[in-house]
Structure 1
Amino acid sequence: MPYLAGHLPASPVKVFFDGGARPNPGRIEVAVVARGTVHFFDDLGEGCSSDAEWLALQCALQVAQALGVPAFDLLGDSRNIIAQASGAAACRTPAARAHLARFTAAAASVPPRRLRWLPRHQNLAGIALDRRNNS
Protein backbone atom coordinates (compact mmCIF):
# COMPACT_ATOMS: atom_id res chain seq x y z
CA MET A 1 0.00 0.00 0.00
CA PRO A 2 1.50 3.36 -0.95
CA TYR A 3 2.04 6.06 1.63
CA LEU A 4 -0.73 8.67 1.66
CA ALA A 5 -0.13 11.80 3.73
CA GLY A 6 -2.49 11.91 6.69
CA HIS A 7 -3.37 8.23 6.40
CA LEU A 8 -0.81 6.63 8.65
CA PRO A 9 -2.20 4.32 11.30
CA ALA A 10 -2.28 6.07 14.66
CA SER A 11 0.37 4.94 17.12
CA PRO A 12 -1.05 3.86 20.44
CA VAL A 13 -0.71 6.37 23.25
CA LYS A 14 1.63 5.17 25.99
CA VAL A 15 0.18 5.61 29.47
CA PHE A 16 2.67 4.99 32.28
CA PHE A 17 1.54 4.11 35.81
CA ASP A 18 3.09 3.55 39.22
CA GLY A 19 1.79 3.25 42.74
CA GLY A 20 3.31 3.16 46.17
CA ALA A 21 2.37 2.78 49.80
CA ARG A 22 4.17 4.85 52.43
CA PRO A 23 4.96 3.07 54.70
CA ASN A 24 4.15 -0.38 53.32
CA PRO A 25 1.34 -0.91 54.21
CA GLY A 26 0.30 2.70 54.44
CA ARG A 27 -1.07 5.66 52.51
CA ILE A 28 -1.43 4.91 48.80
CA GLU A 29 -0.15 7.33 46.18
CA VAL A 30 -0.34 6.94 42.41
CA ALA A 31 1.14 8.68 39.38
CA VAL A 32 0.02 8.34 35.78
CA VAL A 33 1.81 9.95 32.83
CA ALA A 34 0.05 10.32 29.48
CA ARG A 35 1.08 12.56 26.61
CA GLY A 36 3.67 14.29 28.79
CA THR A 37 1.21 15.22 31.53
CA VAL A 38 1.61 13.86 35.06
CA HIS A 39 -1.52 13.02 37.04
CA PHE A 40 -1.15 12.40 40.78
CA PHE A 41 -3.79 10.59 42.84
CA ASP A 42 -3.44 10.83 46.61
CA ASP A 43 -6.83 10.15 48.20
CA LEU A 44 -6.91 6.42 47.53
CA GLY A 45 -6.88 5.11 51.10
CA GLU A 46 -4.40 2.76 52.66
CA GLY A 47 -3.02 -0.58 51.62
CA CYS A 48 0.08 -2.48 50.60
CA SER A 49 2.29 -1.96 47.57
CA SER A 50 0.26 -4.47 45.52
CA ASP A 51 -2.93 -2.54 46.26
CA ALA A 52 -1.14 0.64 45.20
CA GLU A 53 -0.01 -0.89 41.88
CA TRP A 54 -3.52 -2.19 41.15
CA LEU A 55 -4.99 1.23 41.87
CA ALA A 56 -2.33 2.82 39.65
CA LEU A 57 -3.34 0.49 36.82
CA GLN A 58 -6.99 1.43 37.32
CA CYS A 59 -6.16 5.16 37.37
CA ALA A 60 -4.09 4.75 34.19
CA LEU A 61 -7.05 3.08 32.51
CA GLN A 62 -9.33 5.97 33.52
CA VAL A 63 -6.86 8.58 32.25
CA ALA A 64 -6.39 6.70 28.96
CA GLN A 65 -10.12 6.27 28.41
CA ALA A 66 -10.70 9.97 29.12
CA LEU A 67 -8.25 10.86 26.34
CA GLY A 68 -10.66 9.33 23.83
CA VAL A 69 -7.86 7.88 21.70
CA PRO A 70 -8.43 4.85 19.46
CA ALA A 71 -5.55 2.81 20.96
CA PHE A 72 -3.47 2.95 24.11
CA ASP A 73 -0.95 0.80 25.96
CA LEU A 74 -0.67 0.73 29.76
CA LEU A 75 2.94 0.47 30.96
CA GLY A 76 4.08 -0.26 34.51
CA ASP A 77 7.03 -1.70 36.40
CA SER A 78 5.21 -4.28 38.51
CA ARG A 79 5.69 -7.65 36.78
CA ASN A 80 3.20 -9.27 39.13
CA ILE A 81 0.34 -6.84 38.47
CA ILE A 82 0.97 -6.81 34.69
CA ALA A 83 0.97 -10.63 34.66
CA GLN A 84 -2.20 -10.90 36.74
CA ALA A 85 -4.09 -8.19 34.84
CA SER A 86 -3.17 -9.70 31.47
CA GLY A 87 -4.15 -13.22 32.53
CA ALA A 88 -0.60 -14.62 32.42
CA ALA A 89 -0.61 -15.29 36.18
CA ALA A 90 -3.31 -16.21 38.65
CA CYS A 91 -4.55 -13.82 41.30
CA ARG A 92 -3.86 -15.77 44.46
CA THR A 93 -5.46 -13.52 47.06
CA PRO A 94 -9.03 -12.29 47.48
CA ALA A 95 -7.76 -8.69 47.26
CA ALA A 96 -6.01 -9.33 43.93
CA ARG A 97 -9.09 -11.09 42.54
CA ALA A 98 -11.24 -8.09 43.56
CA HIS A 99 -8.80 -5.65 41.93
CA LEU A 100 -8.77 -7.75 38.75
CA ALA A 101 -12.58 -7.86 38.64
CA ARG A 102 -12.78 -4.06 38.94
CA PHE A 103 -10.12 -3.57 36.27
CA THR A 104 -11.77 -6.05 33.90
CA ALA A 105 -15.17 -4.41 34.30
CA ALA A 106 -13.74 -0.92 33.73
CA ALA A 107 -11.76 -2.08 30.67
CA ALA A 108 -14.70 -3.87 29.05
CA SER A 109 -15.97 -0.84 27.11
CA VAL A 110 -12.60 0.63 26.05
CA PRO A 111 -9.79 -1.84 26.69
CA PRO A 112 -6.07 -1.16 26.40
CA ARG A 113 -4.36 -2.47 23.29
CA ARG A 114 -1.89 -4.15 25.61
CA LEU A 115 -0.38 -4.16 29.09
CA ARG A 116 3.38 -3.98 29.14
CA TRP A 117 6.07 -4.29 31.79
CA LEU A 118 9.08 -2.00 31.64
CA PRO A 119 12.04 -1.48 33.98
CA ARG A 120 11.61 1.04 36.79
CA HIS A 121 14.15 3.48 35.30
CA GLN A 122 12.00 3.71 32.13
CA ASN A 123 8.69 4.21 33.95
CA LEU A 124 7.87 7.91 33.64
CA ALA A 125 5.19 7.61 36.34
CA GLY A 126 7.63 6.06 38.82
CA ILE A 127 10.15 8.78 38.03
CA ALA A 128 7.47 11.42 38.66
CA LEU A 129 6.55 9.88 42.03
CA ASP A 130 10.22 9.73 43.06
CA ARG A 131 10.81 13.35 42.10
CA ARG A 132 7.74 14.51 43.98
CA ASN A 133 8.69 12.60 47.12
CA ASN A 134 12.33 13.69 47.03
CA SER A 135 11.75 17.39 46.44
Structure 2
Amino acid sequence: MELQHYLDLCTKTELAKAKRSARLGDGDLLKALRALFVSMAEQQGIDVAQLFESRAAERRRHQQLQEVRRLAYVQRHQAKLASREIDLQRWNLWFDGSAHPNPGPCSIGAVLQAPDGSRWQLSQHLGHGSSSDAEYQALIAALKLAITYKADALTVRGDSRVILDDVVAQEAQASSLLSHWRQQARALLQQLPHCELVWIPRARNVQADQLAAQARE
Protein backbone atom coordinates (compact mmCIF):
# COMPACT_ATOMS: atom_id res chain seq x y z
CA MET A 1 0.00 0.00 0.00
CA GLU A 2 2.83 2.41 0.77
CA LEU A 3 4.31 1.87 -2.69
CA GLN A 4 0.92 2.48 -4.30
CA HIS A 5 0.56 5.68 -2.29
CA TYR A 6 3.84 6.98 -3.73
CA LEU A 7 2.84 5.86 -7.24
CA ASP A 8 -0.47 7.74 -6.94
CA LEU A 9 1.25 10.98 -5.95
CA CYS A 10 4.27 11.08 -8.23
CA THR A 11 4.37 12.28 -11.83
CA LYS A 12 5.47 10.13 -14.77
CA THR A 13 8.76 12.03 -14.91
CA GLU A 14 9.38 11.48 -11.20
CA LEU A 15 8.52 7.78 -11.49
CA ALA A 16 10.96 7.37 -14.39
CA LYS A 17 13.67 9.12 -12.33
CA ALA A 18 13.00 6.84 -9.34
CA LYS A 19 13.15 3.74 -11.54
CA ARG A 20 16.52 4.81 -12.93
CA SER A 21 17.78 5.39 -9.40
CA ALA A 22 16.53 1.98 -8.29
CA ARG A 23 18.23 0.25 -11.22
CA LEU A 24 21.51 1.95 -10.38
CA GLY A 25 21.14 1.07 -6.69
CA ASP A 26 19.66 -1.96 -4.97
CA GLY A 27 16.58 -2.20 -7.20
CA ASP A 28 14.13 -1.11 -4.48
CA LEU A 29 11.63 1.23 -6.17
CA LEU A 30 9.88 2.15 -2.90
CA LYS A 31 13.17 3.20 -1.36
CA ALA A 32 14.04 5.26 -4.43
CA LEU A 33 10.64 7.00 -4.33
CA ARG A 34 11.03 7.79 -0.64
CA ALA A 35 14.42 9.34 -1.29
CA LEU A 36 13.03 11.35 -4.20
CA PHE A 37 10.15 12.76 -2.15
CA VAL A 38 12.44 13.58 0.77
CA SER A 39 14.74 15.45 -1.61
CA MET A 40 11.82 17.39 -3.15
CA ALA A 41 10.43 18.27 0.28
CA GLU A 42 13.80 19.58 1.41
CA GLN A 43 14.12 21.70 -1.72
CA GLN A 44 10.70 23.25 -1.00
CA GLY A 45 11.49 23.75 2.69
CA ILE A 46 8.65 21.52 3.92
CA ASP A 47 8.44 18.05 5.38
CA VAL A 48 7.36 14.98 3.43
CA ALA A 49 3.91 14.91 5.06
CA GLN A 50 3.22 18.43 3.79
CA LEU A 51 4.43 17.47 0.34
CA PHE A 52 2.08 14.45 0.38
CA GLU A 53 -0.82 16.67 1.44
CA SER A 54 -0.08 19.18 -1.33
CA ARG A 55 0.15 16.46 -3.94
CA ALA A 56 -3.08 14.82 -2.75
CA ALA A 57 -4.91 18.18 -2.93
CA GLU A 58 -3.53 18.79 -6.42
CA ARG A 59 -4.68 15.33 -7.48
CA ARG A 60 -8.19 15.98 -6.14
CA ARG A 61 -8.35 19.27 -8.05
CA HIS A 62 -7.27 17.51 -11.22
CA GLN A 63 -9.90 14.80 -10.74
CA GLN A 64 -12.59 17.42 -10.15
CA LEU A 65 -11.55 19.29 -13.30
CA GLN A 66 -11.62 16.06 -15.28
CA GLU A 67 -15.12 15.34 -13.97
CA VAL A 68 -16.32 18.82 -14.94
CA ARG A 69 -14.90 18.32 -18.42
CA ARG A 70 -16.46 14.86 -18.67
CA LEU A 71 -19.90 16.18 -17.69
CA ALA A 72 -19.57 19.07 -20.15
CA TYR A 73 -18.69 16.60 -22.90
CA VAL A 74 -21.68 14.40 -22.03
CA GLN A 75 -24.00 17.42 -22.11
CA ARG A 76 -22.64 18.55 -25.49
CA HIS A 77 -22.98 15.03 -26.84
CA GLN A 78 -26.55 14.70 -25.59
CA ALA A 79 -27.45 18.08 -27.07
CA LYS A 80 -25.92 17.02 -30.38
CA LEU A 81 -27.92 13.80 -30.39
CA ALA A 82 -31.09 15.66 -29.46
CA SER A 83 -30.58 18.09 -32.34
CA ARG A 84 -30.50 15.14 -34.75
CA GLU A 85 -33.68 13.50 -33.50
CA ILE A 86 -36.88 14.39 -35.31
CA ASP A 87 -40.12 13.57 -33.54
CA LEU A 88 -42.51 12.81 -36.39
CA GLN A 89 -45.47 13.14 -34.02
CA ARG A 90 -44.74 16.89 -33.80
CA TRP A 91 -44.70 19.62 -36.41
CA ASN A 92 -41.13 20.36 -37.51
CA LEU A 93 -39.82 23.61 -38.94
CA TRP A 94 -36.40 24.49 -40.38
CA PHE A 95 -35.34 28.04 -41.25
CA ASP A 96 -32.30 29.80 -42.69
CA GLY A 97 -31.42 33.31 -43.81
CA SER A 98 -28.41 34.85 -45.51
CA ALA A 99 -27.06 38.16 -46.75
CA HIS A 100 -24.64 38.23 -49.70
CA PRO A 101 -22.51 40.24 -49.29
CA ASN A 102 -22.88 40.87 -45.57
CA PRO A 103 -24.57 43.31 -45.27
CA GLY A 104 -26.36 42.99 -48.59
CA PRO A 105 -29.49 41.54 -50.21
CA CYS A 106 -31.27 39.20 -47.78
CA SER A 107 -32.83 35.89 -48.72
CA ILE A 108 -34.65 33.33 -46.59
CA GLY A 109 -35.73 29.74 -46.75
CA ALA A 110 -37.96 27.58 -44.56
CA VAL A 111 -39.50 24.11 -44.52
CA LEU A 112 -42.55 23.15 -42.45
CA GLN A 113 -43.42 19.48 -42.00
CA ALA A 114 -46.68 18.24 -40.47
CA PRO A 115 -47.03 15.00 -38.47
CA ASP A 116 -48.82 13.42 -41.44
CA GLY A 117 -45.81 14.13 -43.68
CA SER A 118 -47.24 17.14 -45.51
CA ARG A 119 -44.61 19.79 -46.29
CA TRP A 120 -44.61 23.49 -47.15
CA GLN A 121 -41.67 25.61 -48.28
CA LEU A 122 -40.66 29.26 -48.32
CA SER A 123 -38.02 30.83 -50.57
CA GLN A 124 -38.02 34.64 -50.62
CA HIS A 125 -35.86 37.69 -51.20
CA LEU A 126 -36.43 40.25 -48.41
CA GLY A 127 -34.65 43.55 -48.89
CA HIS A 128 -31.22 44.55 -47.56
CA GLY A 129 -29.48 43.89 -44.23
CA SER A 130 -26.96 41.85 -42.27
CA SER A 131 -26.88 38.06 -41.96
CA SER A 132 -28.53 38.44 -38.54
CA ASP A 133 -31.32 40.50 -40.09
CA ALA A 134 -31.80 37.76 -42.67
CA GLU A 135 -31.83 34.98 -40.08
CA TYR A 136 -34.37 36.82 -37.95
CA GLN A 137 -36.59 37.49 -40.98
CA ALA A 138 -36.36 33.80 -41.86
CA LEU A 139 -37.45 32.84 -38.34
CA ILE A 140 -40.34 35.32 -38.41
CA ALA A 141 -41.56 34.14 -41.82
CA ALA A 142 -41.24 30.51 -40.72
CA LEU A 143 -43.26 31.13 -37.54
CA LYS A 144 -45.97 32.89 -39.57
CA LEU A 145 -46.11 29.82 -41.82
CA ALA A 146 -46.52 27.56 -38.79
CA ILE A 147 -49.31 29.76 -37.43
CA THR A 148 -51.08 29.74 -40.79
CA TYR A 149 -51.21 25.94 -40.77
CA LYS A 150 -52.06 25.79 -37.03
CA ALA A 151 -48.96 23.89 -36.00
CA ASP A 152 -49.70 23.11 -32.34
CA ALA A 153 -46.73 21.06 -31.08
CA LEU A 154 -43.78 22.52 -33.00
CA THR A 155 -40.00 22.13 -33.04
CA VAL A 156 -38.16 24.97 -34.80
CA ARG A 157 -34.60 24.31 -35.97
CA GLY A 158 -32.02 26.79 -37.20
CA ASP A 159 -28.24 26.98 -37.53
CA SER A 160 -27.83 30.53 -36.17
CA ARG A 161 -26.86 30.46 -32.49
CA VAL A 162 -26.91 34.28 -32.51
CA ILE A 163 -30.62 34.43 -33.35
CA LEU A 164 -31.75 31.44 -31.29
CA ASP A 165 -29.92 32.78 -28.24
CA ASP A 166 -31.09 36.35 -28.80
CA VAL A 167 -34.79 35.58 -29.15
CA VAL A 168 -34.91 33.94 -25.69
CA ALA A 169 -32.40 36.24 -23.97
CA GLN A 170 -33.22 38.63 -21.15
CA GLU A 171 -33.54 42.19 -22.44
CA ALA A 172 -30.26 43.24 -20.81
CA GLN A 173 -28.36 40.47 -22.62
CA ALA A 174 -30.16 40.76 -25.97
CA SER A 175 -28.91 42.75 -28.95
CA SER A 176 -30.30 46.28 -29.16
CA LEU A 177 -29.63 46.27 -32.91
CA LEU A 178 -31.99 43.33 -33.39
CA SER A 179 -34.69 44.40 -30.93
CA HIS A 180 -37.32 45.12 -33.61
CA TRP A 181 -36.92 41.61 -35.07
CA ARG A 182 -36.87 40.02 -31.60
CA GLN A 183 -40.14 41.71 -30.63
CA GLN A 184 -41.84 40.39 -33.77
CA ALA A 185 -40.50 36.88 -33.25
CA ARG A 186 -41.54 36.80 -29.59
CA ALA A 187 -45.06 37.99 -30.45
CA LEU A 188 -45.37 35.10 -32.90
CA LEU A 189 -43.94 32.60 -30.42
CA GLN A 190 -46.66 33.57 -27.96
CA GLN A 191 -49.14 32.23 -30.50
CA LEU A 192 -47.25 28.91 -30.49
CA PRO A 193 -47.26 27.90 -26.80
CA HIS A 194 -45.97 24.39 -27.47
CA CYS A 195 -43.02 25.52 -29.58
CA GLU A 196 -39.38 24.66 -28.84
CA LEU A 197 -36.29 26.17 -30.46
CA VAL A 198 -33.34 23.91 -31.29
CA TRP A 199 -29.92 24.79 -32.71
CA ILE A 200 -28.55 22.45 -35.39
CA PRO A 201 -25.28 22.56 -37.33
CA ARG A 202 -25.51 23.98 -40.84
CA ALA A 203 -24.91 20.55 -42.35
CA ARG A 204 -28.26 19.47 -40.92
CA ASN A 205 -30.12 22.48 -42.27
CA VAL A 206 -29.52 21.78 -45.94
CA GLN A 207 -33.07 22.21 -47.29
CA ALA A 208 -33.69 25.59 -45.68
CA ASP A 209 -30.22 26.73 -46.76
CA GLN A 210 -30.89 25.66 -50.36
CA LEU A 211 -34.22 27.49 -50.38
CA ALA A 212 -32.51 30.67 -49.13
CA ALA A 213 -29.90 30.26 -51.86
CA GLN A 214 -32.60 29.81 -54.51
CA ALA A 215 -34.14 33.15 -53.52
CA ARG A 216 -30.84 34.86 -54.38
CA GLU A 217 -30.87 33.51 -57.92
Aligned residue in 2 for 1:11? 89
Aligned residues: 123
Question: Does the 8 A contact of 1:21 with 1:49 survive in 2?
Answer: yes
Query: How much has 1:37 moved relative to structure 2?
Result: 3.1
The counterpart of 1:91, out of the listed 166, 171, 174, is 174
SS of match in other structure, 1:91: coil
Structure 1 runs (4+) greater than 4 angstroms displaced: none
The aligned counterpart of 2:123 is 40
Shift of 1:112: 5.2
Residue of structure 2 equivalent to 1:27 = 105
1:116 CA displacement: 0.6
**Per-residue deviation, 1:107:** 2.2
Q: Distance in 2 between matches of 1:14 and 1:127?
A: 17
Q: Indicate how the Cα distance of structure 1 residues 134 and 48 shifts in structure 2: closer, same or farther if over 3 A, else same.
A: closer
1:100 is matched with 182
Going from structure 1 to structure 2, the CA distance change for 1:41 and 1:111 (only over 3 Å counts) comes to: farther
Give unmatched runs, 5+ long, in structure 1: 1-9
Of Structure 1 and Structure 2, the greater helix share is in 2
Q: Which runs of 5+ in 2 are unaligned?
A: 1-87, 114-118
**What is the alpha-carbon root mean square deviation over aligned residues?**
2.3
1:43-81 CA distance string (max 9 Å, x none): x21000010011111011011111112211111000111
Question: Is 2:207 aligned against 1:129?
Answer: no
- CA–CA separation in structure 2 for the residues paired with 1:51 and 1:112: 25
What secondary structure does 1:80 align onto? helix
Q: Provide the TM-score with structure 1 as the length reference.
A: 0.79
Larger Rg: 2
